Amino acid sequence: MSGMPFQRTGEREHPGAARILCSVGLSNAVVSISAAVFTLADWHNAARPYVVLVALLVGTGWAIVGWIDVACEFSYLASVTLATGLGVAILLSICLVVLRWWHPAVSVGALLCVSTASNVCLAGRSVRGSRGARYHR
């Protein structure tokens, strides 16, 4: 929350920022796929509630916000990511209720798989950005 901006729109000029974004994408992908496995396999363990919650809020949020090129600092990005994750989860549940198709575990599992794919793509995009920066230098 330092307020130090890192220009995501210009990440090609900042390989350090690209590395951070790549790590964030990969971490979210790992958490999301773990949560998807826990949920779909109905595997009960002490870590499951925390992993699924983090994946739903942060993983899903970042899977969307990561594609939006806003120049911002940590607090802004974290706020929007958490709110988006929360919003997507609530929207999904509303859809399940309205459509009268209440299969929460399957739906959350599917959402987390999509979010994993998006996070992997985001990490890949950051790597490409960082390589591009090295090439240009």
Partner 1 sequence: MTETLDIHATVRRQSKSEGTATWKYGVGSGVLSICAFALWAYSVGLIHVYRSGPSGLVAELPIVWWLALVLAVAAVASGLLTKAPCALTMLAPILVFTLVLHGTLLAAEPVPRFGPAYQVAGFADYFKTVGHMNGRLDARMNWFGLLSGAGMAAKAMGVPTTWFLRWSPAMFELSYLLPIKSLGNLYLRSPRARWAVLPLFLVGNWIDQDYFSPQAVALFLYLVVLLICVRTLGAQGSRASLSARISDLGVFRSLAGKLWGALGVPGRAMPLGKSEEVVGPRTRGAALGLVFLLVGVSVASHPLTPVVLCIALLALAFTGRTRLRISWLIASLGVITWTSWVAKDYWIGHLQVVFGGVGNVGGTVAATTSRHIASASFGREMVEGARLTATLAIVLAAALATFLLWRRSGRSWDLVLLAAAPGVIGALVTYGGEVTLRILLFSLPALCLLVASAVDQGGGRRGLILYGGVLILLVALFPLTRYGNEGFETFTPGDIAATEWVYSHVPRGSTILTEDFTETLGMSHVGYYHLSELGPAVLASPRVLKQILPNGPAWIYVTRSQYSETTIYRGFPGNWLKRFEANLAGLPSVRRAYVNSTAAVYYIEFH
Give the C-alpha separation, 97 to 116, whole Å.
Answer: 25
Residues 89-118 touching partner 1, rule: CB under 8 A, are 89-94, 96-97, 100, 102, 104-105, 107-109
Q: Which stretch binds partner 1 (CB under 8 A): 22-30, 37-45, 113-121, 126-134?
A: 37-45
Inter-helix orientation angle 15-40/104-136, to 10°: 160
**Residue 38 near residue 48 (C-beta atoms within 8 A):** yes
The least CB distance from residue 52 to partner 1, in Å, is 4
Q: Does 41 bind partner 1 (CB under 8 A)?
A: no
Q: Which amino acid is at 97?
A: V
The CB-of-134 to partner 1 minimum distance in angstroms stands at: 25
The whole-angstrom distance between residue 41's C-alpha and the CA centroid of its chain comes to 21
CB atoms within 10 A of CB 36: 23
Q: Between helices 104-136 and 74-98, what is the axis angle to 10°?
A: 150
Site string for partner 1, 58-87 (x = CB under 8 A): ------xx-xxxxxxxxxx-xxx-xxx-xx
With binding defined as CB under 8 A, does residue 39 bind partner 1? yes
Backbone angles phi, psi at 72, to 5 degrees: -160, 175
Q: Which is nearer to partner 1, 79 or 134 (CB)?
A: 79
Residues found near partner 1 in the complex (CB under 8 A): 1-3, 9, 35, 38-39, 42, 44, 48-49, 52-53, 56, 64-65, 67-76, 78-80, 82-84, 86-94, 96-97, 100, 102, 104-105, 107-109
